[in-house]
Structure 1
Amino acid sequence: MHRLTNQVRPYAWGARAAIPRLLGTEPDGTPQAELWLGAHHGAPSTAHCLDGSKSLPDLIARDPDRVLGPETAERFGARLPYLLKYLAAEAPLSLQVHPDAARARSGYEAEESAGIPVDAPHRNYRDPHHKPELLLALEPFDALCGFREPAATHADLVGLGSDLAVRLCEDLSHPDTHTALRAALTRLLSLPDVDRCRMIDEFVAEWVERDRPCAHAEIVADLAARYPGDPGAIAALLLNRLTLWPGQALFLPAGNLHAYLQGTAVEVMASSDNVLRAGLTGKHVDAPELLDVVDFSVLPIPYARPDFLDGRREFRPAAPEFALHEIGPGRITAHLPGNGPTVILVLRGDVELVAEVGEGVTLRRGESVFVQADSGPIKVEGHGHVIATTVGSY
């Protein structure tokens, strides 16, 4: 087992205190949004080994079959296929969608061929991988996720007289659900620059003045105040508004338009940083590319349901790259499978990890380890709350 040192991403929407509280450090007043645990090139973890410290990608490259296991190395190459994050949102994240595997690969290759630097602000695809993700709430967590019925949004807009509201009602009246939603989102993302701020301001002013109760009553005004002139504030009306309670999880496959609004959670995903944004951001928005990737289906909210196995809750969604395991909170005795590499993070308490091969280790709140595949199954004992990520189904 290798103890990890992990990097914090200081995005503007991050909370000031949640990650320092986890790590036992003093807040410095700056936003700390995500703690990354993994081998993604954007912010790789450092593994502390008997022969010194090295980046996790370097540890893997040294002996992929031993570190990842031959099955994982054969399926995914010499790379850790997942990325675990501790996410602390004080303000809304961008309204976004992730591409499927084929789109990620073709988009990456096209931008590479065009000579666009991988860190260019206008780059869409920073790696050739898809990014299905699972989010597990650690406290009440607010989100927008997936399209609701066009008729529901239409009903919220009826009676509004602003130019944009009237046009959106026309779009949403189309009898075909996909056509209605595509037309409405396309309209919002294609507002002419000369009229965009005026049209959005008129819509928001009328929306606030009417003050009619609905699930989205406050979110439009709040988002518009945070992101003036951003059509994402109005696009929120097209999506389901929900609150996850601690222990509830969402699985977001490719094409699901979503935005996280506020709260603390852990998130595990295929190891990728490919994000296409529709709004609620100062970052690059590529409307045509996004509209080609979005799934305009109206589907049930994609809650993820766990199985209860060996003292843990196991989330194993339809993503071969990862499974997420939650152990605790409370007095715990659990076993983790040893058929591949494992990343373990202690959220609370003190726990003892004992692998089938090698020495055990004691971890406290905020500490984490990387367990090589050749260590075998892992026993977790103690009192606390633990998150672990393993490779998905073989």
Structure 2
Amino acid sequence: MERLRGAIKEYAWGSAAAIPGLFDLPPADGPVAEIWLGTHKSGPAELASGIVYNPTADAAEENLRDYIDRDPQGCLGTTLPSSVNALSYLLKLIAPDQPLSLQVHPSRKQARERYADENDAGVEMTDPNRNYFDENHKPELLVALTKFEAVAGFRAPRRVMDVVGGLPCTIAEDLLRFLQKDLSSEGMRTCFEYLLSADTRPSEDQVMELVEGCRKRLREDTSPSARADRIVSNLADHYPGDPGIVASLLLNPVTLQQGEALFVPAGTVHAYLSGTGVEIMANSDNVLRAGLTSKHIDVPELLATVDYTAAPPIRIAPERVSDVTRTYYAPVDDFELSVTELRDWTTERNLPGRGPRILLAISGAIEVSTNEQRITLNLGEAVFVRADEGNLQVQGVGTLIQADIP
């Protein structure tokens, strides 16, 4: 087992207080959006003691990516879905203080082909207009540590008509006209493309006209979806005039309470709005943005990636695999996530899971044992467990997150 320190991502939308607060630390001077625990080349975890969040630490002598590369078979085993000498998953802590971009992730086939295309075209990894930073898809599972708000996937077209109906503005009238003509996924495609495409996207004034209509409904308590109108108002506070504000009305609002989970497959348009969570995904950083961001937006590439089928958000209910562990099984072969809650130092428990694992203590103190090693993880500490270290036993009082493979 090797102790880990995470890669800190200080994106502008991050909370200065949420992640430090998880570890009983004061707020940071700036945003702390994510902590990455994995092997992705954009931010591999380091082999170092202490808690995963340490913004003042000097760089460690070795990172997890290089460590695995020295003995990939021993570290990863022989059953991983990827042939690359890296973990198939990326574990994160995420804490948006303001809404993230409206975005979608590609399929594995699309990522592989388009990554090669950008390489062949000579697009540098540092180019702000590059879309693909690896060859992998990026399905993801988020488990809420606090109340967590998001939008994900398209509503039923008739429900969209209910939500935009009665708004006295050009955009609402256009959306209604498109859906009255076609209530299928093609009608939803027409609406989404109309909002984002360069030759049809509404002006900032038109967007703000719709925003004011939503705010008026809220004030007068006449909204067919107060939650959707509140989301519109919130997005307009952060991204005034952005057509992505209107696109949120096409999507399902999602509220997760602590312990509840949302799965986002390839092609699903989504945006995380607020809260703190632990996220696990395929080992990728491929993001195609639709709006609500100052970063690069490639509208044609995004529109070609989106699944326009109306569907409810995919909530993953955990299975109780023991009296102390619940596991969230996502429908992919890249990862699974478990939460173990221990209340007794006197009893040693077997920890389910296999292959290369990352363990993170998010409360208390937990002792982790293999046949040859014993480590205590205190609040905020993490460890990488090689595949060849076999089964694990745990005891203590606290909560442990485990990332592993199916």
TM exceeding 0.5? yes
1:262, distance to aligned residue in structure 2 (A): 0.4
Q: Whole-Å Cα distance in 2 between the matches of residues 26 and 301 of structure 1?
A: 35
Q: Which one of the candidate residues 367, 370, 381 is aligned to 1:352?
A: 367
Identity %: 41
Task: Give me the whole-angstrom Cα distance separating, in 2, the residues matched to 1:362 and 1:243.
Answer: 34
Distance 2:354 2:340 in 1: 18
One-letter code of the match for 1:16? Answer: A
Counterparts of 2:94 and 2:334, CA distance in 1: 20
State whether residues 150 and 173 of structure 1, in contact with CA within 8 Å, keep that contact through their aligned partners in structure 2.
no
Q: Is residue 253 of structure 1 aligned with residue 260 of structure 2?
A: no
Structure 2 residue ranges without an equivalent (≥5) = 50-59
- Kindly state the Cα deviation for residue 161 of structure 1 after the two structures are TM-superposed: 2.6
Contact 2:144 2:261 in 1 (8 A): yes
Partner of 1:66: 74
Aligned equivalents of 1:86 and 1:376: distance in 2? 26
1:298 and 2:310 are equivalent in the alignment: yes
What is the letter of the counterpart of residue 173 of structure 2? V
Partner of 1:370: 384
Residue 243 of structure 1 pairs with residue 255 of structure 2: yes
Comparing 301-310 and 370-379, the one that deviates more: 301-310
Matched to 1:70, the amino acid is T
Correspondence for 1:82: 89
Alignment CA distance shift 1:176-1:384 (3 Å): same
The answer on 1:226 being equivalent to 2:238 is: yes
Instruction: Name the SS for the 2:95 alignment partner.
Output: strand
Answer whether contact 2:164 2:249 (CA < 8 A) is retained: no
Distance in 1, Cα, partners of 2:82 & 2:137 = 15
The Cα shift of 1:238 comes to: 0.4
Q: Distance in 1 between matches of 2:48 and 2:237?
A: 45
Spell out, residue by residue over 1:244-295, the C-alpha distance to the aligned partner (whole angstroms, 9 max, x if none). Answer: 0111101111011111110010000000000011111111111111111111
2:197 corresponds in structure 1 to 190
Determine helix, strand or coil for the equivalent of 1:89. Answer: coil
Asked if residue 27 in structure 1 is aligned to residue 27 in structure 2, the reply is: yes
Q: Is the 8 A contact 2:350 2:394 kept in 1?
A: yes
The aligned length equals: 388
Q: Does 1:168 align with 2:175?
A: yes
Residue type of the alignment partner of 2:193: T
Structure 2 counterpart SS, 1:124: coil
1:221-240 CA-to-partner distances (Å, cap 9, x unmatched) read 21112101211111000011
Aligned CA distance change for structure 1 residues 166 and 330 (closer, same or farther; 3 Å):
farther
1:354 partner letter: S
Contact 2:195–2:201 (CA<8 Å) still a contact in 1?
A: no
Corresponding position: 1:288 with 2:295: no
Query: Are residues 331 and 263 of structure 1, via their aligned partners in 2, closer, same or farther at CA, if it must alter by over 3 Å?
Result: farther
Unaligned runs of 5+ in 1: none
2:65 aligns to what SS in structure 1? helix
Counterpart in the other structure of 1:4: 4
Verify the 8 A CA contact 2:8 2:32 in the aligned structure 1: yes
88, 95, 102: which one aligns with 1:95: 102
* Partner SS state of residue 212, structure 2: helix
Determine the structure 1 residue equivalent to 2:329: 316
| Cα RMSD (Å) | 1.9
Residue equivalent to 2:142:
135
Relative to structure 1, is the Cα distance of residues 204 and 339 closer, same or farther in structure 2, using a 3 angstrom cutoff?
Answer: closer
Task: Quote the offset at 1:164 in angstroms.
Answer: 1.4
Shifted more, 337-346 versus 118-127: the winner is 337-346
The answer to whether the Cα contact below 8 Å between 2:368 and 2:393 also exists between their aligned partners in 1 is: yes
Aligned to 2:43: 43
Report the CA distance shift for 1:178/1:57 in structure 2 as closer, same or farther (over 3 A): same
Distance 2:202 2:341 in 1: 53
Aligned partners of 1:151 and 1:173 also within 8 Å: no
* Aligned match for 1:125, one of 127, 132, 136: 132
TM-score by length of 2: 0.91
2:340 maps to which of 303, 306, 327: 327
Q: Which residue identity lines up with residue 344 of structure 1 in the other structure?
A: L
Name the aligned partner's letter for residue 339 of structure 1: R
Distance change >3 Å, CA 218–CA 339, structure 1 → 2: closer
Work out whether residues 342 and 396 of structure 2, in 8 Å CA contact, stay in contact via their aligned partners in 1: no
How big is the shift at 1:242? 1.7
Partner of 2:288: 276
State the 1:195 CA deviation: 5.7
Residues 269-278 or 161-170, more deviating: 161-170
> Shift of the alpha carbon at 1:48?
4.2
Structure 2 residue identity aligned to 1:383: V
- CA positional deviation for 1:153: 1.5
